[in-house]
Structure formats: structure tokens, C-alpha cells
A = this chain, B = another copy of it.
Amino acid sequence: MGVACPEGPRDARNDDEDGESGVSHATQEAASATGRFERAGIDKFEARRAELADAALATLGELGLARTSLREIAQKTDFSHGVLHYYFRDKVELITYCVRRYKEHCVTRYDAIVAESPDAATLSERFADALVATLLDDTAMHRLWYDLRTQAMFDGALLPTVVDLDRQLEDMIWRVVSQHAELAASDVALSRAGVYAVFDGLFEGSLQRHLAGDTAATGRLRTDAVVLLTRLMAEPSS
């Protein structure tokens, strides 16, 4: 008995976009729009999704995208591997959901520093310290992000999510650098994309060397970040 499974809450996910967009952050909206679930049901559904996504993030950060299978993710939970296809349409939706979930925890990481630093020198020092701190604390998550971003160069299905998140990270860095410029009464010498790219390169390089056993990597990151931030300031083009 009970053949309700194949058309269970599966249509709570975004069936509205059958096309090529692939981006699927419309889950909650779609579900509440149908009106099929009362509040408690949706919350429970979303809570389990989040729980599974956290297990997936742990596995992905540990093994990388290529080596992470759905069965291995499920093994990190109390459920069997089949449950993942009940809460996520396929692997791509699971991964994009994971990354978007992770994003929210880090895209405002430096905003407090930006808001509270009284002068340019303080801002640059605190920013550099924060860079080092997150490299050490969230090593696996950063590694996963770089994996995902690189994979998007080959797999178009990941591209929309990566482009979106990359833009938010660019904004995050730009807030730091433009505020530094304001405090220093200067302009920024590089393009917005360029500013993000150089700090991202500095961070990625430090992460890689840190993971490869270079114990001096974080120290270099700190000093280089301060120097770079200062160097990117130009006299205002009056």
C-alpha cells in the first residue's frame, strides 16, 4: 500500500523551470505557492533538506566534488542513500543547494570590519587577520568552493550558481577595498573584477600552500594582503 511516493513532495521543488536555467533557489516559494503543505510540513521538509545538505557539505569539503557520491553523503547521516532523491531532484540540485546554503554564512564576513574600522590602517590589518582566520577555520569549505568554481569551467550546469556566488564575493571584497579607499581619501587603481581577482588569487594560493604543508603560508598571506590593499590605492583622479 502507499503508492504516493513518486508524486510525493517532489513537486514541491521547482518544476516550473524545465528549461535550461538550472538555478533552483525557488524551493520555498514554489512549495508555499502550491498551498499543499501547512507551515509545519514545509518547515520540517526544509529542516531535513538542510540537515542532509550539511552532511553533504561535510563530505564534499572532505573529498571534493569528483569523489563524493550520494551513498557516501548518506553514510554521514542516519538515513539511507535513497532519501537524497526524495529531498533533491538530482546531484546537481543537491550541490547547488549546498553551496547556496554555505554562501549565506560567509558573504557578509567582513562587513563588521568595514563598518567599524576607524581608519584605513586598522581596516587593512583587521581584513588581513580575518582572511587568515577564515582560511584556518573554514579550510575545507574554501577548498570545496574552488573545486566547484573550477568544475563550472567544464560543466555548464554549475555555471549559474558559480557566477551568482562569485559576484557576491566580488561585492564583498569591493566593500572592503572601496571603504579603505574612502578612509584613505584615495581611489582604487584596479577594476572591480580585478580587485576581487587579486585578493582571491592571494587567498587561493595561500590555501593551496597551507594544505600542501607550507606553515608560513598564512603569515605571508597576512602581510601580503596588507601591502596589496595599500598598493591598490591611487591618488584621486581629480
Interface contact A150-B153, CB-CB below 8 Å: no
Q: Report which of B154, B193, B227 forms a contact with A63, defined as CB distance below 8 A.
A: B154
Q: Is A146 on the interface with B (CB-CB < 8 A)?
A: yes
Which of A9-17, A97-105, A109-117, A207-215 sits within the interface?
A207-215
Interface contact B194-A153, CB-CB below 8 Å: no
Which of A43-51, A76-84, A176-184, A196-204 sits within the interface?
A196-204
Q: 1/0 contact trace for A144-158 toward B, CB 8 Å?
A: 001101111111000
27 A-B residue pairings within 8 Å (CB atoms): A64-B151, A64-B153, A64-B155, A65-B66, A66-B151, A66-B154, A67-B154, A143-B153, A143-B154, A146-B153, A147-B150, A147-B151, A150-B150, A153-B207, A153-B211, A163-B212, A166-B208, A191-B220, A191-B223, A193-B224, A194-B227, A197-B202, A197-B204, A197-B206, A197-B224, A198-B198, A201-B205
Shortest A171–chain B CB gap in Å is 14
Shortest A160–chain B CB gap in Å is 10
Known: A146-B153, A194-B202. 7 other contacts (CB 8 A): A66-B151, A147-B150, A147-B153, A152-B212, A191-B224, A193-B217, A201-B201
CA distance A163 to B217 in the complex (A): 14
CA distance A197 to B224 in the complex (A): 10
> Closest B-chain residue to A139, C-beta based?
B153
Q: Is A159 on the interface with B (CB-CB < 8 A)?
A: yes
Q: Which residues of B contact A155 (CB under 8 A)?
A: 64, 67
Q: Which residues of B contact A92 (CB under 8 A)?
A: none
Q: Which residues of B contact A202 (CB under 8 A)?
A: 194, 197-198, 201
Shortest A87–chain B CB gap in Å is 24
Interface contact A197-B189, CB-CB below 8 Å: no
Q: 1/0 contact trace for A214-236 toward B, CB 8 Å?
A: 00010010011001100110000
Q: Is A185 on the interface with B (CB-CB < 8 A)?
A: no
> Closest B-chain residue to A209, C-beta based?
B193
Q: Is A133 on the interface with B (CB-CB < 8 A)?
A: no
- Which parts of A122-167 form the interface with B (CB within 8 Å)? 143, 146-147, 149-155, 159, 163, 166
